[in-house]
């Protein structure tokens, strides 16, 4: 079993930056990829970005490119998500996910999830 713990959410104003962190514990040797998803009220969980832990290779949803940056630290079993120029539409619960397989944008394909951290962007 893999356990994921997110931190760093909060209330910010439009244009601000925020950094989220996710630490994995447990059977971390089995993790191949970690990712961030987000879910706004009434909407489906949405892929944000992923990182292949052994190589650091990253992949982004098109809408996140340029403003969001995912970083990974394989030795610490951690990923971070730096979010810049935040907009009210970025308001959502942000979830960390981990998988034993290469990244996929389909949230149903990910095996492990954190509890989520709320990010609220006021206008």
- The two tokens of residue 50 are 């992923």
Nearest Cα neighbor of 115 from 35, 30, 1, 3 is: 3
Proportion of the chain above pLDDT 90, given as a percent: 89
Tell me the pLDDT tens digit for each residue of 24-67.
999 988 899 999 999 999 999 999 999 999 999 999 999 999 99
pLDDT at 112: 96
**pLDDT 10s digits, 72-98:** 999 999 999 999 999 999 999 999 999
């Amino acid at each position: 079993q893999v356990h994921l713990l997110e931190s760093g959410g909060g209330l910010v104003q439009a244009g601000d930056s925020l950094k989220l962190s996710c630490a994995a514990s447990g059977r971390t040797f089995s993790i191949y990829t970690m990712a961030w998803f987000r879910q706004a009220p009434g909407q489906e969980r949405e892929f944000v970005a992923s990182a292949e832990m052994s190589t650091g290779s990253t992949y982004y949803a098109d809408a996140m490119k340029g403003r969001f940056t995912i970083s990974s630290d394989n030795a610490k079993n951690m990923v971070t998500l730096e979010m810049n120029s935040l907009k009210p539409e970025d308001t959502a619960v942000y979830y960390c996910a981990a998988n034993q397989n290469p990244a996929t944008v389909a949230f149903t394909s990910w095996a492990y999830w954190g509890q989520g951290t709320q990010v609220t962007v006021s206008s």
